[in-house]
Amino acid sequence: MYREVNQMPRCATCGILVPTQEIRFAHHERRLIACSERCVGLYDSYRYPRYRAEIEAREAAGDVSIALGYAAG
Ligand SMILES: [Zn+2]
């Protein structure tokens, strides 16, 4: 199935497009997508602690699209 770029998942950690072979993982009760096991680890050790305020504000606003690394459905 063809997907527009903005409908493709992006890695929740590094933001690159993940057209195939996405890794799904759970963090702070959200289901997220990563491009690699490395990014799964970095989300927990780096991205979430560093950007927690932004992430929580975005989630509170309902901005949880796959373009931001959230698993759909
Ligand atoms: Zn990544």
Residue 1 pLDDT > 80: no
Residue 45 placed within a domain: yes
Residue 52, classed as helix, strand or coil, is helix
Residue 52 placed within a domain: yes
Alpha-carbon span 58 to 67, nearest angstrom: 13
Q: How many domains does the chain have?
A: 1
Residue 73 placed within a domain: no
Residue 13 placed within a domain: yes
Provide the residue range defining the domain that includes 26.
Answer: 5-68
Residue-level pLDDT at 20: 83
Cα 14 to middle of ligand 1, angstroms: 4
The pLDDT-based confidence of 19 (bands split at 50, 70, 90) is confident
pTM of the predicted protein model = 0.87
What mean pLDDT is predicted for residues 47-55?
98
Higher local confidence (pLDDT), 57 or 7: 57
Cα 36 to middle of ligand 1, angstroms: 6
Cα 9 to middle of ligand 1, angstroms: 11
Residue 43 placed within a domain: yes
User: Quick check: 8 and 22 in contact, CB under 8 A?
Assistant: no
Residue 24 pLDDT > 70: yes
The pLDDT-based confidence of 3 (bands split at 50, 70, 90) is low
